[in-house]
Amino acid sequence: MQFPTKINKNTLLPFSPASLPSLQLKKDEAEKRNENPFADFDDLDILNWYIHERQHTNAANERSERTKKEYEKELRQFISQLLTYPDEIGLDLGDVVEGSLFKSLSPRHLRRWQEWLIAESPYVKKRGAYSQTAITRKTTIIRSFFQYLHRVGYIIEETHTGLRKATVRKDDRPNRDLGPGDVVIMLRGFREIEHTVMFGILLTMTATGLRNEEFCRLDVSDIKRDRIQGGYFLNVLGKGNKRRQIPLKAEVYAAIQEYRKVRGLPLLEQSAPDAPVFTTSRGTRFSPSYLNQYMKKEMQKISPRLQGVEVDLTPHVFRHAFAIISHLNKVDIYDIMRSLGHEKIETTMIYLEKIFAKERHAVNQWTGDALGEFLG
């Protein structure tokens, strides 16, 4: 099968915002000719523009680097799959339109790709089915991209209509609920085996509600002295380039200092401002994926104490624990939402939906004389 020469595995790397000025000139020239602004764009141009386009005067309102990387990763993977497995997917393209892969695709091609991804892709054959969350994420990003291509007139056909809806039901979501008792068991376990590193990580994550990425990005300069209320707080740059201030309990600050001592790092007040707060045993900054792997491995050291905990113990579950513990301590849900850096209350509700369901169960609303002496 013949594909556009512009699109191949080698030309997909890298996407870069450095190309935006030249792409803007292309758009301007097309507008001068009273043509579609994207008339001179090829597939690589439109990919770069879609990911890195500036839409706001304030750069802080643009997509975060994390979001850009996620979109770029999924789009690269999608294109690579089309190029590598055209026959398996069923890409009966015929003639390539204007040297463009995107313009050559029809709704049936996206439907066949989605079906192949779910049932026949190498990932599925080797590792088993994708989670519904993963399928939803991939479908959403590809649909959004092709909707954009149609909206700006780069493609004529509404190709995205070939994708079936992918949503995450409550039952599809992984169990991420840890109560305060579970966290206490873990903290005690690591304290008893003198694992200061894991103790510091778990206490910090649970008492701050940090995202994995936020935890890994923490610099010494992000820990500020609170000159009004005393103590310290974290000045965190979160999703959407939005900052929030997170108070540090004295015990958490002390745990961070002990962590640094064990790692052979200078105390916070003696460290360079741009030094990472938490490092690996080699003194390098954690990456989100490595932190995830490290925590899972170290959790095995207290596994006998974790009987009954049926949660995949990733960094994210301790963010859920922050929300759950806050709710159990009667914290208003809007305060929990703001503390976690959520933009929508619905996201916070997802963290707490199982707790709410139990609290609102009919049996918990029975009066004291229901079933008399048998229930008390």
Q: Give tens-digit pLDDT for 331-359.
A: 999 999 999 999 888 889 888 888 877 87
Check: CB of residue 2 under 8 Å from CB of residue 92: no
Q: Is the pLDDT assigned to residue 168 strictly greater than 60?
A: no
Rounded Cα–Cα distance for residues 61 and 55 (Å): 8
Sequence letter at residue 268:
L
**Cα Rg of the chain (Å, integer):** 25
Tally of domains within the chain: 2
Check: CB of residue 105 under 8 Å from CB of residue 159: yes
pLDDT in tens, 230-262: 899 999 988 877 889 999 999 999 999 999 999
Among 119, 147, 172, the domain-final residue is: 172
Phi, psi of 73 (to 5 degrees): -60, -45
Q: Is the pLDDT assigned to residue 172 strictly greater than 50?
A: no
Residues 162 and 70 in one domain: yes
Residues 167 and 224 in one domain: no
| Residue 148 located in a structural domain | yes
Percent helix / strand / coil, the chain, rounded to 5: 60, 5, 35
Q: Is the pLDDT assigned to residue 6 strictly greater than 80?
A: no
Residues 151 and 262 in one domain: no
Check: CB of residue 147 under 8 Å from CB of residue 282: no
Residue in the block written with tokens 């939906």: 353
| Residue 80 located in a structural domain | yes
Within 8 A by CB and 6+ apart from 270, the residues are: none
Residue 322: pLDDT band with limits 50, 70, 90: very high
Q: What is the DSSP pairing of strand 223-225 with strand 243-248?
A: unpaired
- Residue ranges making up the domain that contains 205: 180-359
pLDDT in tens, 18-50: 788 889 999 999 999 999 999 999 898 999 899
Residues 217 and 235 in one domain: yes
Rounded Cα–Cα distance for residues 114 and 166 (Å): 10
| Residue 375 located in a structural domain | no
**Which one, of 370, 342, 366, 346, lies nearest residue 356 by Cα?**
346
Sequence letter at residue 59:
A
Residues 95 and 239 in one domain: no
Of 168-182, 294-308, 335-349, the range with the highest mean pLDDT is 335-349
Rounded Cα–Cα distance for residues 53 and 25 (Å): 13
Rounded Cα–Cα distance for residues 72 and 173 (Å): 24
**Which one, of 118, 81, 77, 69, lies nearest residue 3 by Cα?**
81
CATH number of the domain enclosing 298: 1.10.443.10
With 0.75 as the threshold, say if the pTM is over it: no
